[in-house]
Chains A and B, each alone.
Chain A
Amino acid sequence: MSHEHRRTPFSVVTAVAAPLNQANIDTDQIIPGRFLSLPREDMKPHLFRDVRYYDNGAPRPDFVLNRPEYKGAEIIVAARNFACGSSREMAVTVLKDNGFKAFIAPSFGDIFFNNCYQNGVLPVVLPEARVSEILRFLLELPGAQITIDLPNQTVRGPDGKIDGFAIDSFRKDCLINGLDEIEMTLAHEKEIAAYEARVAV
């Protein structure tokens, strides 16, 4: 297998976590439609564009990511159904390009969840009550850190409490080893060709 397309392996992240205490934050908010035709390198400043800045471009002081305590945050903790809506993969890449490596929520938009794995970032599902607890801690202690340990499948919260989380072994292997799915699949060329011959597609 070629190593050319391997990603940076994911292991343990200890970082400041930013609390987005809202349900149903959608991918249109993360990166509005009008920026989707921009090349990836020009998209970075438009993360959460319309909820993060005033019309004149000045940052809204009340938006979490504009607060100095969250400078350098690499984890987002959000309420249920985080990043629902559109399939735009730019919602993941613009977050990644702004330094985010992992997201914790009670549930995620299905396509965003898949897109995370395609880009070497980790979506973690924890029970809603625990996420609410973590959100409260983060709001009370701005700048508090969280540790996500993928090999051991644990999250150490800002309160020091440790929770386990589930992840499919397929996804875990790909993240830890930085594997590229296309390379993996091309190794199954024989089976794909056999399928095509068998069902005559």
Chain B
Amino acid sequence: MAEISKPRTMFEKIWARHVVVERPDGYSLLYIDRHLIHDGSYFAFQRLKSRGLKLRRPDLSFATPDHYMPTNTRNKADIKDPNAHRMVTSVAVNGRETGITVFDVGDRRNGIVHVVGPEQGLTVPGITLVCGDSHTSTHGALGCLAFGIGQSEVIHVMATQTLWQKKPKAMRITIDGRLGAGVTGKDVILAIIGKIGAAGGTGYVIEYAGSAIRELSIEGRLTLCNMSIEAGGRAGMVAPDDKTYEYLAGRPYAPAGAAWDAALARWRELPTDPGAQFDREVSLDGRDIAPMVTYGTSPEDVVPVTGAVPDPAAAPDAVKREALARSLAYMGLQPGTPISEIAVDRVFIGSCTNSRIEDLRAAASIAKGRKAVVPSWIVPGSGLVKEQAEREGLDRIFKEAGFEWRESGCSMCLGMNGEIGRPEERIASTSNRNFVGRQGKGVRTHLVSPVMAAAAAVTGRFTDVRKLMA
């Protein structure tokens, strides 16, 4: 009689395949298939060298400067801060010394590390992928186990191509029901964080499932998984399907020929088996999700655009009450104010969350034939995204509408390189964190989708984008 194996989650399958050493105390040494590196890893290279350690697998490591490169230039010599200049220029130097592939500034493949990985086909189903950046959860959209690590762990991966990990718990978030027009992957993840809280996923790897997730494009899934960290999760993932394979076929680093066929056979085995157990199950109805807007200083502070700023007095506990009161004071908002009456001073469309070609197409569809009434930036996620957008004429639409069309990079998402707002400036931003001071000291960030950001740009306030859609 054939042995019937226990049904497993996709996460368990990927985990089991990567265990090199298992300790009795629950810790495993996991093999890492891909290590993505950015310019913030400057100090890691330094420490690796000073310890006399060698980078074990340069063939599995890929680097792209993104955080410290200003987005108004492609010339490294324009970087005024000597520390930032050294971090950007060191990537190519370290690449040459260690033998890793670098997509350097000036190379059209350069861009935000979490845009570049999938775009180059470096991110594929079933692998383990890490990067010294919390938004590494993005890559799970293609059905892999991807998570952010700190600098010491970056050095550990450089030296050993492995990491010590305790197996996280598994959570499944199921979203059935068709998403309405104007509702995007960004709104889905904001609605999820609003429901489970910014620490709701702590200790878990989250698998997103259900018909609404299957209906999302790969780029929508990348946005969704990107903000898993904002829900506290170690990683986010979506089962690979035909959309995934179609997206990956022919990408530069994706398998090709016979290797593609072999990979495809393996990938088709990855999705969670029917009957597999999760430690926690959460579900939302896709039909209930509206375009979302954050009002506070944590991504969990979020309401539909049709809603209003909540009243701290109605908060469920003292910690939440005090946090909300402090948030609203920082944000300069009065309880009860309808979201649609909040005026914005500036718009930022970009970041590893929302800077891919579909994001730009969606924003352009709203900008077309209208005029931005506040300063509005478009920062494409990579040189290739920028080129593609220009081929499609999106840059002309944005420029005609008064938007500023910039080079790729992390930019205003985390207020790098002087790309920041002014104190008390209110920004509609497609990025991932509305933290105090994240986009500049005293800056008030509201997280929204690209179409909602474009709607804010052309109306000067938060406007339900569904009213602007033809």
Q: Of the listed stretches B5-13, B80-88, B176-184, B336-344, name the one at the interface; the rest are far from the partner chain.
A: B80-88
The residue that B51 contacts in the complex, of A5, A85, A86, A88, with Cβ under 8 A, is A5
Report how far A21 CA is from B320 CA in the complex, Å. Answer: 11
> Shortest distance in angstroms between B79's beta carbon and chain A's nearest beta carbon?
10
- Do residues A119 and B152 form an inter-chain contact, with CB atoms below 8 A? yes
- Do residues B31 and A86 form an inter-chain contact, with CB atoms below 8 A? no
Q: Which residue of B lies closest to A128 (CB)?
A: B319
B residues 115-169 in Cβ contact with A at 8 Å = 132-134, 148-153, 155-156, 159-162, 164, 166
Contacts of A115 in B (CB 8 A): 150-153
Report how far A195 CA is from B438 CA in the complex, Å. Answer: 42
Q: Within 8 Å of chain B (Cβ to Cβ): is A3? A: no
Contacts of B322 in A (CB 8 A): 21-22
A residues 104-121 in Cβ contact with B at 8 Å = 107-111, 114-115, 118-119
Q: Within 8 Å of chain A (Cβ to Cβ): is B416? A: yes
Q: Which residue of B lies closest to A80 (CB)?
A: B199
The residue that A50 contacts in the complex, of B160, B234, B300, B441, with Cβ under 8 A, is B441
B residues 262-315 in Cβ contact with A at 8 Å = 297-298, 300
Report how far A186 CA is from B157 CA in the complex, Å. Answer: 11
Contacts of B437 in A (CB 8 A): 28-29, 32, 50-51
The residue that B202 contacts in the complex, of A81, A188, A196, with Cβ under 8 A, is A81
Report how far A125 CA is from B408 CA in the complex, Å. Answer: 40
- Do residues A185 and B232 form an inter-chain contact, with CB atoms below 8 A? no
Contacts of B151 in A (CB 8 A): 89, 115
Q: Of the listed stretches A11-19, A34-42, A68-76, A144-152, name the one at the interface; the rest are far from the partner chain.
A: A34-42
Q: Within 8 Å of chain A (Cβ to Cβ): is B467? A: no
Q: Within 8 Å of chain B (Cβ to Cβ): is A23? A: yes
- Do residues A28 and B68 form an inter-chain contact, with CB atoms below 8 A? no
With A51-B436, A79-B319, A192-B20 as known contacts, state yes or no: A185 contacts B160, CB within 8 Å.
Answer: yes
Contacts of A181 in B (CB 8 A): 152, 156, 164
Q: Within 8 Å of chain B (Cβ to Cβ): is A1? A: no
- Do residues A80 and B156 form an inter-chain contact, with CB atoms below 8 A? no
Q: Within 8 Å of chain B (Cβ to Cβ): is A58? A: no
With A188-B20, A201-B33 as known contacts, state yes or no: A23 contacts B319, CB within 8 Å.
Answer: yes
Q: Within 8 Å of chain A (Cβ to Cβ): is B17? A: yes
Q: Which residue of A lies closest to B87 (CB)?
A: A37
Contacts of A32 in B (CB 8 A): 415, 437, 441
Contacts of B27 in A (CB 8 A): 168, 170
- Do residues A50 and B436 form an inter-chain contact, with CB atoms below 8 A? yes
Report how far A79 CA is from B438 CA in the complex, Å. Answer: 20
With A34-B416, A89-B150, A92-B150 as known contacts, state yes or no: A192 contacts B320, CB within 8 Å.
Answer: no
Contacts of B57 in A (CB 8 A): 201
Q: Within 8 Å of chain A (Cβ to Cβ): is B210? A: no
- Do residues A86 and B160 form an inter-chain contact, with CB atoms below 8 A? no
Q: Within 8 Å of chain A (Cβ to Cβ): is B414? A: yes
- Do residues A192 and B31 form an inter-chain contact, with CB atoms below 8 A? yes
Most buried by B among A115, A191, A192, A199: A192
- Do residues B438 and A33 form an inter-chain contact, with CB atoms below 8 A? yes
With A81-B199, A86-B414, A201-B31 as known contacts, state yes or no: A182 contacts B160, CB within 8 Å.
Answer: yes
With A38-B83, A89-B152 as known contacts, state yes or no: A28 contacts B29, CB within 8 Å.
Answer: no
Q: Within 8 Å of chain A (Cβ to Cβ): is B435? A: yes
- Do residues A110 and B234 form an inter-chain contact, with CB atoms below 8 A? yes
Question: Scoring A residues 30 to 65 as 1 if CB is less than 8 Å from chain B, else 0, what string do you get?
Answer: 001110111110000000001100010000000000
Q: Within 8 Å of chain A (Cβ to Cβ): is B23? A: yes
- Do residues B202 and A182 form an inter-chain contact, with CB atoms below 8 A? no
The residue that B149 contacts in the complex, of A39, A87, A192, with Cβ under 8 A, is A87
- Do residues B134 and A80 form an inter-chain contact, with CB atoms below 8 A? no
- Do residues B232 and A81 form an inter-chain contact, with CB atoms below 8 A? yes
A residues in contact (CB < 8 Å) with B: 5, 21-24, 26, 28-29, 32-34, 36-40, 50-51, 55, 79-81, 84-89, 92, 107-111, 114-115, 118-119, 132, 168-170, 181-182, 184-186, 188, 191-192, 195-196, 199, 201
**18 A–B contacts from the bound complex (CB under 8 Å):** A24-B198, A26-B433, A28-B433, A28-B436, A28-B437, A37-B68, A37-B83, A80-B319, A84-B199, A87-B149, A89-B152, A115-B153, A170-B23, A170-B26, A181-B152, A185-B156, A192-B160, A196-B31
B residues in contact (CB < 8 Å) with A: 17, 20-21, 23, 25-27, 29, 31, 33, 40, 42-43, 51, 53, 57, 60, 68, 81, 83-84, 86-87, 132-134, 148-153, 155-156, 159-162, 164, 166, 198-199, 202-203, 229-230, 232-234, 297-298, 300, 318-320, 322-323, 326, 414-416, 433, 435-438, 441-442
Task: List 5 additional A-B contacts (Cβ < 8 Å) besides A26-B436, A38-B83, A181-B156.
Answer: A81-B199, A84-B232, A114-B150, A182-B155, A185-B164
